[in-house]
Structures are given as structure tokens and as C-alpha cells.
Amino acid sequence: MSGDRDPGLQPERTRLAWRRTTLSGTVAAVLGMKAALHGGASAPAIAACVACGGLWLGFLVLAHQRIRVLASTTAPPALHPRRATAAALCTVALAVCAAALVI
């Protein structure tokens, strides 16, 4: 299988792109948790913190499943639109969480 490897390393590059994106998500989620717990550990603050953590975990699972598919074959199938939508909605939900914290 590794004999007819793509010389452009497209699956590997895509895999690393998912990793980079997860890392960016981690930074955003950590900033969110810090913002949530800034004013003390009240019930809404903890809820916001848990929401940020949950969204981060959701994105991590989405990314990891895709990374596994990309790593398993040399000509992986295209990204499923539902996964793309879910990943984008995780990002949107993080922004909504942030807006709630800012106001």
C-alpha cells in the first residue's frame, strides 16, 4: 500500500491541517475557560467553562475520526459534508459562548 504513495503527500498534509486546526481550537477554548473563571467560580461561570471544554472535546473527536480515515488509506474519500458542518458549528457555538461571557 505504501508503494503507490502520493508523492504530494496530500493525505498527510490534510491530516496535519486537522491537527493545526485542533490546536487553534485548543487555544481559543483555553482562553474561553480563563475568561469564564476570571470573575470567580460561580454557577454560570462553571457552566460556560464546561461548555467551552465540551465544544473543544467535540471538535477533537471530529478531527480525530477524520485523521484516522486519512491515515488508513492512500486515496481517502472526500470529507463528509455533515462533518464539515459539525466542525463549523462547534466554532460558531464557541463564539456564542464567548459573546455570552463578554456581555
Footprint of another protein (CB under 8 A): 6, 8, 10-11, 13-14, 17-18, 20-21, 24-25, 27-28, 31-32, 34-35, 38, 75-82, 84-85, 87-88, 91-92, 94-96, 98-99, 101-103
User: Based on CB atoms, which residue is closest to another protein, 46 or 100?
Assistant: 100
C-alpha cell at 77: 474519500
88, 55 contact by CB (below 8 A) = no
User: Based on CB atoms, which residue is closest to another protein, 31 or 61?
Assistant: 31
Q: How far is CA 38 from CA 27, 42, 46, 52, 82, in A?
A: 16, 10, 11, 14, 35
The least distance separating another protein from the CB of residue 25, rounded to whole angstroms, comes to 5
Q: How far is CA 26 from CA 29, 38, 39, in A?
A: 5, 18, 21
The least distance separating another protein from the CB of residue 20, rounded to whole angstroms, comes to 6
Element (H, E) at 68: helix 43-72
The least distance separating another protein from the CB of residue 8, rounded to whole angstroms, comes to 7
C-alpha cell at 6: 502520493
The least distance separating another protein from the CB of residue 43, rounded to whole angstroms, comes to 20
